[in-house]
Structure 1
């Protein structure tokens, strides 16, 4: 298969590109190397993808460019059988400062790819959506019928992209699936996430910082589970035209998460609390019954198991990863 992965040097896209290349597919990665966090992590993802292609008999090509470049996108989609659209301007809080950039990348950029997919007739378009599309919960866990009322420009831009994708699939008759990820974490994760920050600070004798009172809850999803859901859509015809939650169903308070990481690594440290940002979600919790039905999806890691794996990986890769986390 010829697989195009946009945002393929990032955390989720990098893990997908690595898996597809290791499985023997021809992978093209498009990434603009936006300096949202330390770019050396992205370069490491690229090298890991290239090594996977060598080991698995696939191929790996990196194209440095932007989804906002419609001509470039059209050229790349023309050679693809499957498009895995992971590229996005990430970050809820920064989206409040610069909402137009989030719309340009996440909505307009997605439209460029969809236009190319419509014109070329690809096998399937799979996009990364987000739990941020739901906004303030009216009930928990979120199922896919929950109202979508995002409270940040980031969430609004992801919802716009998702709705465009499903509309294009319906009107122009090509398979589209939107996967709504719930706070993905694991090896090579973005350095500005709660889990990576908690682990880094505790390993260096610094107290974890919690924004708010710590009673907010999250449904954290281990990266391997996200990859498996995407691989299913490469191997099987499923969930066409659907938006589907990909979460863990294992909900935890942020304060409890910080305490458990602290207790494993530096039990003498106190927790530090700072002001919560208004755009941060109070609670997220995924109902994954639709994913189970359509994709045979089942999360394989509880938050405690996943965090333990991440800590082990962090310790083994501390020499290169930790300096990047701490300067991002």
Structure 2
């Protein structure tokens, strides 16, 4: 199949590109190669996908361009069977400081991609959304019917992107699926995430720093489970027009997560605490029953096993990855 991945040099997009190419698909990636969290990681992802192409019947093409530019998007989408729209301006905290920039990428950029997908008559358009759309929990775990009450401009931009995607399905007949990711982690993850910071500090005999009192909880989803959910949508139309939570079906408080990593790497350290950010969600926890029913989704990696896998990858790649975390 001919696949387009927007943001395909990023964390999730890079894993998708490598996986799809290894399976023999022809993958085009559209990415502006910005350095918001690290060009080194994006270059690593490009190299991994190109290596996969060399070892398979698939192909890999990189288009350096921006989803905010409609002609560029039109050119990239033309000829694609399925579009995996992963491109976004990430960062809840960053969105508080730069809401207009986040809106331009996450809302206008998504609308550009939908317009192009409609014109090209693609088979399916898959939007990467976020648990940030839920915001303040009225109940847990979140199911897909939970009200969307975001507490950050990032979350609000994802709600808007979802609504445009819904409209294009209902009004224009575009086959769309919205996947709400819950805190994805794993190899090549953004270096400013909690897990990478906890691991780095403990490996350097420094106490992990927890924002707030650590009672806030997160549903951490290993990147391989995210890839599996997206792979299913290559051929399944069982979720067309739907919104699906893609999480781990479990959660952990941040204090316990820090202690788990500390106990594994540097048990003699104490935890440190600092002021938390107001825009950070208090709790996230995914109900993935709908995803199970529609596409057979089953998360396979719990947080303890996922952390162990990440630590192993971190050790193997410490020379180049650790400076990014500690920058």
Alignment of 1:64-83 (within 5 A): 64-83=64-83
Distance in 2 between the 1:79 and 1:323 partners? 40
Q: CA deviation at 1:148?
A: 0.4
TM-score (norm 2): 0.99
Check the 8 A contact 2:262/2:269 in 1, yes or no: yes
Query: What displacement does 1:323 show?
Result: 2.0
Tell me the equivalent position of 2:221: 221
Distance in 1 between residues matched to 2:137 and 2:76, nearest whole Å:
39
Residue 230 in 1 paired to residue 230 in 2?
A: yes
Deviations 1:189-220 (Å, cap 9, x if unpaired)?
11010001100111011111110000000000
In the TM superposition, 1:1-328 aligns within 5 A as: 1-327=1-327
Q: Secondary structure at the match of 1:37?
A: coil
Looking at structure 2, the residues matched to 236 and 112 of structure 1 have their Cα atoms a distance apart, in angstroms, of: 25
Cα distance in 2 for residues equivalent to 1:31 and 1:183: 21
Counterpart secondary structure, 1:234: coil
After alignment, is 280-289 or 51-60 more displaced? 51-60
Tell me how far apart the structure 2 counterparts of residues 38 and 164 of structure 1 sit (CA, whole Å): 29
How far 1:305 moved relative to its partner?
A: 0.8
SS in 2 for 1:315: helix
CA distance, structure 2, for counterparts of residue 313 and residue 196 of structure 1: 11
Distance 2:203 2:78 in 1: 47
- Two-structure CA RMSD over aligned residues (Å): 0.7
1:279-305 per-residue CA deviation (whole Å, 9 max, x = no partner) reads 000000000000000010000011111
Task: Give 1:320 deviation, angstroms.
Answer: 2.0
For residues 77 and 281 of structure 1, the distance between their equivalents in structure 2, rounded to whole angstroms, comes to 34
State how far apart, in whole Å, the 2-side matches of 1:224 and 1:166 are. 26
- CA distance in 2: counterparts of 1:55 and 1:212, whole angstroms: 47
Runs of 4+ in 1 over 6 A off after TM superposition: none
Distance 1:57 1:321 in 2: 30
1:12 alignment partner, SS class:
helix
Distance 2:150 2:159 in 1: 8
3-state DSSP class of the match of 2:27?
strand
Matched residue count: 327
Q: Note the alpha carbon deviations across 1:82-107, whole angstroms, 9 max, x for none.
A: 10000000000010001011110000
Per the TM alignment, residue 235 of structure 1 is displaced from its structure 2 partner at its CA by: 2.3
1:87-141: per-residue Cα shift (whole Å, max 9, x none)?
0000000100010111100000000000011111001000100000001000000
Residue 290 of structure 2 aligns to a residue whose secondary structure is: helix
Structure 2 unaligned spans of 5+: none
